[in-house]
Amino acid sequence: MKHMEGKALWITAIVILLMVALILTSGSHSVQARSKGYSVQVPADVEWVSTGIYIDASSGPVLLSISTKGGVLTGPVNIYGGRPMGPEGSVWFCYDQPGNDFYCALDGQPWGRLIGRIGPFGEPFDIGNVNSITINTSGFLYLTINDFLGTYYDNKGEFTVLINR
């Protein structure tokens, strides 16, 4: 009987370690720490990506430098063409259409533009192709491209965003 109790204890310990590892790695999507910052993959077909980067603005605004590479398409290639957009987005703008129940991740900004928010329910803000942003709110940084919420499934491409504190 003691052998069974010892075995159950080991199994419980392994399950707990696996759960802790899962919790510690969840909430981030392909984030790599580098000596000069964090590299984050932002796929166009994912609505919001947690960078895993916690911004602590409790002592004042936090300045982040940003560099973005890559290109995205917001919609099927056969309809919208095959020319990827950079982080500045397209020449066309996304506007909320409440009558059709379509809402942009950030109303009034270009389709495909890089945008962010602090926390899973924070107010979205424009990033685009800037070199730096100032964050005044504490929480985890999330990134996405601008598109109608709920319609990211047909998007293509991704951005690689390098973030330095």
Domain with 149 in it: 30-164
Q: Is residue 157 part of a domain?
A: yes
Q: Is residue 35 part of a domain?
A: yes
Total domains, the chain: 1
Q: Is residue 22 part of a domain?
A: no
pLDDT single digits (tens) 127-164: 999 999 999 999 999 999 999 999 999 999 999 999 99
pLDDT single digits (tens) 63-77: 999 999 999 999 776
Least Cα distance to 79 among 154, 147, 157 occurs for: 154
* pLDDT at residue number 83: 81
Kindly tell me if the per-residue pLDDT of 118 is higher than 60: yes
Q: Is residue 103 part of a domain?
A: yes
Tell me what the mean pLDDT of segment 18-38 comes to: 48
Q: Is residue 25 part of a domain?
A: no
Confirm if 134 and 140 have CB atoms less than 8 A apart: no
Q: For the domain that residue 35 is a member of, what is the CATH number?
A: 2.60.120.430
- Integer Cα distance of 130 and 67 in angstroms: 8
Tell me what the mean pLDDT of segment 36-65 comes to: 94
DSSP state of 84: -
Q: Is residue 14 part of a domain?
A: no
Confirm if 77 and 156 have CB atoms less than 8 A apart: yes
Confirm if 62 and 135 have CB atoms less than 8 A apart: yes
Q: Is residue 19 part of a domain?
A: no
